[in-house]
Each structure stands twice: as structure tokens, then as C-alpha cells.
A and B are shown apart, each in its own frame.
Chain A
Amino acid sequence: MSKIVVVTSGKGGVGKTTTSAAFATGLAMKGYKTAVIDFDVGLRNLDLIMGCERRVVYDFVNVINGEATLRQALIKDKRIENLYVLAASQTRDKDALSQEGVKKVLDDLKADGFDFIICDSPAGIEKGAHLAMFYADEALVVTNPEVSSVRDSDRILGLLSSKTHRAANDEPCIKEHLVLTRYAPHRVETGEMLSVEDVQDILAIPLLGVIPESTAVLNASNQGAPVILDNESDAGQAYDDLIERFLGNSVDFRFIDNKKKGFFGRMFGS
């Protein structure tokens, strides 16, 4: 039974694409056949983060318009078995997406035996974001620990419960998960950043993962290797924990407490 998971946030730049890439890669590493689709038509990025930008021949819009088959457009990842990317079109805009077209692509992926279909939503609440969430079974709501991002996520949660296929057909609600990214415990301590508890209090949905602010994320983006492949890094490990929780395993939260500096750290401020 395939599951469609939308990665969404409302606000831009909070880490949707980074999360989509890491999440899809992580699921594939666990052996699940996974496709990740870039819904950000006109501003495509996912192919860069996934490191397959040089192999894009056909894209999502080509498939919707019948100019290419799904098989031709799916890009197989070179590192991980079972992982496929469907890139967005850079030369078109969101109007090129249609509800029927999106449904057909998702249905075809299901028929192809994909376990997970990850929809990387564009920022905003307009057509692209709407279509990315429309057919979802579950949602990862990516939020930064600051007020504007939290408010936008609240708005997105409202849309998830009212403007989706499940809501329109009175089916069970979309299962919502909170993913808190760019978390810096020392800045929470100084009151510069909202804490995990603050964000959960406002959004009132279960917490799936906390990804610490990390230099590894920028390095990963620049190299086109999803950060979860860097299992030495804190962010990579945090995404790994997140996937375990998504699959139903209980894992303690890491990286949410400020590490006490050791003696040398205190002495020399490093």
C-alpha cells in the first residue's frame, strides 16, 4: 500500500527541500521504494539537492502534458537503490500543473509499486502548494523556531484539514507531523528562539523530529548529497531518528538540549 507524504510549511527557506531529500533518501535506505516529486515548478531545486541536476531530461510537467512517460522522467538515484526523483520544470509556472494531471502521476506511481511518494511542496499557499498537499495521506510540516514560520505552519495545518482530497470526501484526516528545523538550543536558552515546547503548544500536533542548525546541511546542499548520507553529522543523525519515528519506532529526541561546555571550552571560549 503506497503512502503519499507531503513536505510543506507555508513559509519559504525553512528546509522543505532539504527535508524532502533527506526523508526520501532515508526511506529508500531502509529498503522502501521511494519517489520524491518537486512541485516547485519554475523554481526547481530538488534536483540540485539530490545531485541529479545533470541528468534531467524530462520533468513533471512533461509527464502531465503527455510529452514523456513517467518511466522516462523518473531519475534513478546513483547512490541508493529504490530511490527516484521527478524534477520540476524550470521554464514553466505553477499553472502548468492540473489536478487531474497530478492525480494521474500519483496513481501511476502507486501502480508501479512505490511504497512512499514524497511531494516537496513550494512555499506559499497557492496552486503549487495546494496540489502538492491535495492527495496526501500524511504531512510533514516543516517549521523553524521563530514566530512567523510557526504562524505560517498553523495556516498550512488549517488548509490540510479543509482543502484536501481527504477533507473534501470526509475521509480520515491527513496525519500531521511536526518537523522542527534549524534548531539551536543555545539560542533557545538565551530567549532568541522559540523552544520545542513553545512551538508544540501553538501548533498542537505530534513532534516527529528536531533537526539542529548545522553546517552539514549547507555542505550537503552544495555537494548535491542529501544530508542523511552524512551519518557523522548531527543533522544527518537527526533525520535518521525522524525516519525511525515515522516508521513507528520510538527513539529519544537528541540535539534539543544545550551541550554544557567542557573545562577547555569555558576557559578558551571554543
Chain B
Amino acid sequence: MTATAPALDNPSECFVLRNRMTGIAVLDVLSNDINQLVIQLQQRLQLAPELFKQAPVALHVPAAAQPLDIAALCSALKPLALIPVAITATSDNAAQLAQQAQLGVLDIDSQKSSPTTPAAAVTAPATKVVKQPVRSGQQIVCDGDLIVLGQVGAGAEVIAAGNIHIYGALRGRAFAGAKGDESCHIFCRQLDAELVAIAGVFKVSEELDDTLRQQPSHIQLQADQLQIAALG
């Protein structure tokens, strides 16, 4: 993740080009029906309008979604306050799409596998600690990990791009990995949630296993399924 542009011999270089990213949302395009996609996306974004305001996104376009008018898709995203910046390198015809849309090509998967460096830790999004109970109707949004010392009441929402730790009862809704990070977890001392979600995969209260209700719980995503286990 640290690959920098080759250092120039000239000592007074005006910039360093890094391709390290602290976090970028990837929009997986599954259909070439742009109208439908925009409608669905709009609904999803309403869950947390603040989180994705002017967020850069990379577009992943598999063969199944092609042929696709990529330029039209890009202009359709802008009114939603999403800024398409790149096509993922794993897309089919990535180079061609990138040229059509005048975007970059982003090699995200190779970034994932490359080792992180101390420099990355410095730029990691800040952890937010909430000391008050999160009351019904309140929404807490955070770009990194979110730690709530009290409870999250029914009708309250906690949303984090990273992990969520709740040292009280979770009675409201919790969205971890809200920007698509599937490796995020949710921990709570007492599970009584209206809804839990990681990277968009969610379960509503009705689908929760009754034996786990009211229990200290750990929620993670495995093979696109939410796994909920008792803690400790």
C-alpha cells in the first residue's frame, strides 16, 4: 500500500504521489439498468446521508453487467453526491471502461494483500467514543470504529465505517462496515437489536435467534452471511 512514485533525483520535488488509500467505497455494478440502480442506490444512501456525502467511489463492473454506458452511469451518480473516481482493475475490460468514462484504474485487491505500514496507522480514521446513551431518534455516524459506553435505545441508529462496540444493550439499529468493509464486527453486551448490518448484509429483529436475545453477542460476516455468536 505504500508504493510511491519513484523518488526523483531532483531534491526539490514538488510532490509525492501515493496510491495508498485510507478507505474507498467500491460500487459493485450488478446490472446495466442504470435507472433501477440509481433508484436502489438512493434508498440505500438515505440510511446514512452524511456518511457518503461527496464520497469517492470506485466502480466494479463484471462482465455480467456489460455492455454498460459507463459515462451515463457516472453522470447519474453525481446528483447522489457520489464521485466516481476509478474503475477497479478486476472489472472486465477495465482499461476500456476507464477510458470511456475518463476515470482511473484502481488495483484494490492488490492493495488489500500488501502489508500495511506504520504510516497507514497515522491516517487511519479516528475512533469515536460516545459516553452518553444513544437515545431513540438519535443517529451517530462515524468514519472509523465506534464505541458506545451506554446503550443504544430502540429507534436509535449507530453507523460506522469500521467496527461497532456497544458496552450496553443494543435495542436500536447498528450498521458496521457502512462503506462496504466486510471484515467489520459488531459487539454488544445485550443483543436486542431492531436491525444489525455489516457491509449492507442485514438481519432484522425477527430473524435473530431467540437463544441469543438479551445475550452478550458478537456479529460478523462470513461467506456473505451474518454470523451471530454469544460472547464469552
Contacts and interface: CB of A to CB of B under 8 A. Distances in A.
B155 interface: yes
Contacts of B138: 158, 162
Interface residues of A, number: 12
Contact of A204 (B136, B137, B150): B150
A151 interface: yes
A154 interface: yes
Interface string B147-187: 00011011110000000000001010000000000000000
A154 B132 contact: no
Interface in A148-178: 151-152, 154-155, 157-159, 161-162
B135 interface: yes
Given A155-B137, A202-B171, A161 B132 contact: yes
B155 A151 contact: yes
B6 to A, nearest CB: 50
B135 A202 contact: no
Contacts of B133: 157, 204
A204 to B, nearest CB: 6
Contacts of A151: 136, 153-155
Summarize A's interface: helix, strand, loop or mixed.
helix
Contacts of B136: 151-152, 154-155, 158
A154 B138 CA distance: 10
A157 B137 CA distance: 10
A202 B138 CA distance: 15
A239 B165 CA distance: 40
B132 A202 contact: no
Contacts of B156: 154, 158
A247 B98 CA distance: 71
A204 B155 contact: no
Interface string B167-209: 0010100000000000000000000000000000000000000
B155 A154 contact: yes
A151 B151 CA distance: 13
Tell which of A152, A159, A202 has the most Cβ of chain B within 10 Å: A202
B171 A158 contact: no
B154 A154 contact: yes
A162 B135 CA distance: 10
A161 B137 CA distance: 12
A90 B134 CA distance: 36
Nearest to B137: A155
Contacts of A201: 169
A157 B156 CA distance: 12
B151 A155 contact: no
B171 A155 contact: no
B216 to A, nearest CB: 16
Interface string A187-211: 0000000000000011010000000
Which 10 A-B residue pairs are closest in the complex by CB-CB distance? A158-B135, A154-B136, A155-B136, A155-B137, A154-B153, A158-B138, A154-B135, A157-B135, A151-B136, A151-B154
25 contacts: A151-B153, A151-B154, A151-B155, A152-B136, A154-B136, A155-B135, A155-B136, A155-B155, A157-B133, A157-B135, A158-B134, A158-B136, A158-B137, A158-B153, A158-B156, A159-B137, A161-B132, A162-B138, A201-B169, A202-B151, A202-B153, A202-B154, A202-B171, A204-B150, A204-B151
Interface of A: 151-152, 154-155, 157-159, 161-162, 201-202, 204
Given A151-B154, A155-B137, 7 more contacts: A152-B136, A154-B153, A154-B154, A158-B134, A158-B136, A161-B135, A202-B151
